[in-house]
């Protein structure tokens, strides 16, 4: 699905990146990240974000390698209302 110029995947990756950047700037070095996008979680856990054509994914990989302890896990879409709201806000801002 596309919203404006960006795909849902890219918007969700951008929302995750913004959350990681906020955490990094606030000094958090132990994080638990929940995401309802199975492909996004799989790419991160498999280490394939580093080779992605999306700049957001490469930056996510870089940040995750700098953060001390991180747990990334898949959550159900019904439990991720905050993430959905962030993705919608990002979609609104990118159009």
Say what the pLDDT of residue 5 is. 59
pLDDT digits 0-9 by tens, 1-60: 555 556 889 988 999 999 999 999 999 989 998 888 999 999 999 989 999 999 999 999
Confidence of residue 83 (pLDDT cuts 50, 70, 90): low
Say what the pLDDT of residue 3 is. 56
- Domain ranges within the chain, ordered by starting residue: 35-95
The three-state (H, E, C) secondary structure of the chain, written as one string: CEECCEEHHHHHHHHHHHHHHHHHHCCCCEEEEEECCHHHHHHHHCCHHHHCCCHHHHHHHHHHHHCCEEEEEECCHHHCHHHHHHHHHHHHHHC
What predicted TM-score, i.e. pTM, was given to this entire model?
0.74
């Amino acid at each position: 699905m596309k919203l404006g110029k960006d795909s849902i995947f890219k918007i969700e990756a951008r929302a995750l990146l913004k959350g990681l950047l906020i955490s990094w700037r606030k000094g958090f070095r132990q994080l638990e990240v929940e995401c309802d996008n199975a492909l996004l979680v799989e790419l991160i856990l498999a280490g394939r974000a580093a080779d992605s054509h999306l700049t957001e994914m490469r930056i996510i990989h870089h940040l995750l390698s700098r953060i001390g302890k991180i747990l990334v896990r898949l959550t159900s879409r019904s439990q991720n209302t905050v993430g959905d709201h962030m993705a919608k806000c990002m979609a609104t801002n990118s159009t």
